Structure 1
């Protein structure tokens, strides 16, 4: 699974929400300032080339659909962050969050409960 650039991620967030659509449908869902239609169409073609999207053709219209689940993408992206910035260590991630005051003691308790339950809330 190839990494996505920011405008590809933005388009995929819409696709993950709506599951399928034509370029105009996706453009309508994007926040302002919206990219030009042709830019979005190029982005969608890139997503298809990277195999995040597939399409069905109806005459001259392509309806695009999701091929990679959002959860798969998040898992890969998070694992890459852990590997690239934290030497592959979840302990390093937690230490970073605590040291940066991003994780409160209450949240740490929740993490401990999650670990004790085998990762399920």
Structure 2
């Protein structure tokens, strides 16, 4: 399944279908916002969306039922990746910094990650970061000498 970019008209139709999951042409026309285009225009968009593999069809008599083939969350992820690549050099931390600077993201909204990215020096002092370091650190090797010594003492006592 290869996802491609949608035009504005295609995206309007996909938003309708993402809400409905599947629909007939008349249902899509009913849901289409004003000003509604000619039905032939909508039909052309639907044909293109089938070719782009965003939709599948099921024929019922003389009409088609259109079903979503690419879920909204997959398309959203695709757009986010393009956005990060083109505007933030694939750096999610740069995006988060901008959102924070523009007051669109509060520290409380994204506490752990935002605190780490926005205040790296603060992270070192944080109790949370100490806890995270403890649980993500490699396992410590058990002391064999103490166990061996205890076993020897048990054998001597018997």
The TM-score normalised by the length of structure 1 is 0.85
C-alpha displacement of 1:108:
4.2
Give the corresponding residue for 1:63: 65
Root-mean-square deviation (CA, aligned residues, Å) is 1.9
**Structure with a larger share of its residues in helix:** 2
- Runs of 4+ aligned residues of structure 1 deviating over 4 Å after TM superposition are 110-113
**For structure 2, which runs of at least 5 residues remain unmatched after alignment?**
116-127, 129-158
**For structure 1, which runs of at least 5 residues remain unmatched after alignment?**
117-121
How many residues are paired up? Answer: 114
User: Is the alpha carbon distance of 1:29 and 1:111 closer, same or farther for their aligned partners in structure 2, counting shifts above 3 Å?
Assistant: farther
Whether the 8 Å contact between 2:54 and 2:68 is mirrored in structure 1 is: yes
**Higher relative contact order (CA closer than 8 Å, sequence separation 6+):** 1
Give the corresponding residue for 2:125: none
Give the corresponding residue for 1:99: 101
C-alpha displacement of 1:83:
0.9
The structure with more radius of gyration? 2
Give CA deviations for 1:68-89 in whole Å, capped at 9, x if unaligned: 0111111111111111110000
CA distance in 2, matches of 1:38, 1:111: 48
The TM-score normalised by the length of structure 2 is 0.66
CA distance in 2, matches of 1:34, 1:110: 46
